[in-house]
Amino acid sequence: MQTWMKRSLGVAAGVVVLLAGLATGLSAMDAPLPVPTQNLPDLGASLPPASPPSGLGFSVLKTSESQGVFEALEVGGGSWLRYRHPAHVSVLVRHPKVTFLFDTGLGRQVDQQFAANTFMDRLSFAYRNVAPAVDQLAKAGWAPDRIKLIVPSHMHWDHVSALPDFPDAEVLISPTEREHARHGHAPAFLASQFAGVQHWRELSFKPGAYLGFDRSLDLFGDGAVVLVPLVGHTAGQVGMFLNLPSGQRYFFTGDTTWTIEGLQKPADRSWALRQVVHVDHDEATNQAAIVHVHRIMQRFPQLTVVPAHDENVVKTLPHFPQFQE
């Protein structure tokens, strides 16, 4: 018996050593992204001016979370000892001119939508604790038609699942992203989520530098909500700067990275994951976007940057029905 136990313990120890070595080897492929020192976009000496109106505020609706993933797969250089549960959220922005959602999170029909995936994709992208934004709003007495506009950061399934829950809202999206989604396929794009949209509105950026972006769209003409192109993860992903009356400023960066650590280092998603899953429309362009956001964070540390799925960052934000102004 003792001999059998010794052999079993030896095998177990060998497996642990093998797995540790494999993890170390994979992590070695995830060096931080290089940050060039020349020919970079000018970020300016200060944050752009803004005149946000009284009453402008935002709140977060957490609609679900992932079943979980090792941090080392989410971000290069992450830990194999930490398990993360990426959040699926919608950002509710209350502007005197219109109340809108930046992304929708998961909606009422997500289970039926998600059924279009293969078994392996349903396993890989599994979610839990669904609380659709429309239901959270209803509990506070908000009718769906109070949401006049939806601005998806991009049209992946976990960002536009709730479009059918707000049938009267306009959906502001670039023609490039809309076509990218229309010609896309599961698991990234699920046509049932957007095929029934009745009110499309074309997003068109205007020339003019904004924190190193060569184009932008000042949504209300007051500098309060400014959209910028963050192409790479998808063909037409956008980011949103939100500048509040209190002076606090936020930058919502969609899925440029899934964690704030990816922007701080800067680092892409893990090399191992990127060999298995086609994560980005254009990996090199997305890596350039990561570096750009990293530089903005370095230059303006007072700016709060919010990757769409970072559950740790999401915890620090106001959750509906509370607003921050």
Q: What is the pLDDT of residues 47-96, one digit of tens each?
A: 999 999 999 999 999 999 999 999 999 999 999 999 999 999 999 999 99
Whole-angstrom distance, CA of residue 173 vs CA of residue 171: 6
Q: Which residue has the tokens 């890989």?
A: 124
pLDDT at 1 over 90: no
Whole-angstrom distance, CA of residue 300 vs CA of residue 43: 10
Mean pLDDT, the chain, integer: 92
For residue 192, give the DSSP letter: G
Predicted pLDDT at 29: 78
Q: Which residue has the higher pLDDT, 163 or 10?
A: 163
Beta bridge partner(s), residue 252:
240, 306
Q: What is the pLDDT of residues 86-133, one digit of tens each?
A: 999 999 999 999 999 999 999 999 999 999 999 999 999 999 999 999
Locate 178 and state its tokens: 């809309």
Predicted pLDDT at 170: 98
pLDDT at 283 over 60: yes
Predicted pLDDT at 3: 54
Predicted pLDDT at 18: 33
Whole-angstrom distance, CA of residue 286 vs CA of residue 33: 11
Predicted pLDDT at 229: 98
Share of the chain above pLDDT 70, in %: 91
Q: What is the pLDDT of residues 225-275, one digit of tens each?
A: 999 999 999 999 999 999 999 999 999 999 999 999 999 999 999 999 999
Measured between its terminal Cα atoms, the distance across the chain in Å is 68
Q: What is the pLDDT of residues 204-213, one digit of tens each?
A: 999 999 999 9
Domain 56-314 has CATH 3.60.15.10: yes
Cis check for the bond before 152: say yes or no (omega within 30 of 0). no
Predicted pLDDT at 9: 43
User: What residue type is assigned to position 256 of the chain?
Assistant: T
| 3-class SS letters over 195-214 | CCCCCEEECCCEEEEECCEE
Locate 153 and state its tokens: 């950061």
pLDDT at 26 over 70: no
Q: Residue 313 in contact with residue 306, Cβ under 8 Å?
A: yes
Task: Name the pTM for this structure.
Answer: 0.91
Q: Which residue has the tokens 């060999």?
A: 275
Helix intervals (H) in the chain? 2-27, 71-74, 110-114, 119-124, 133-139, 157-160, 175-182, 260-264, 271-276, 283-299, 311-314
Locate 84 and state its tokens: 């993360």
Predicted pLDDT at 260: 98
Closest CA to 256 of 296, 210, 216, 222: 296
pLDDT at 13 over 80: no
Share of the chain above pLDDT 90, in %: 89
Give the H or E element holding residue 252. strand 249-252
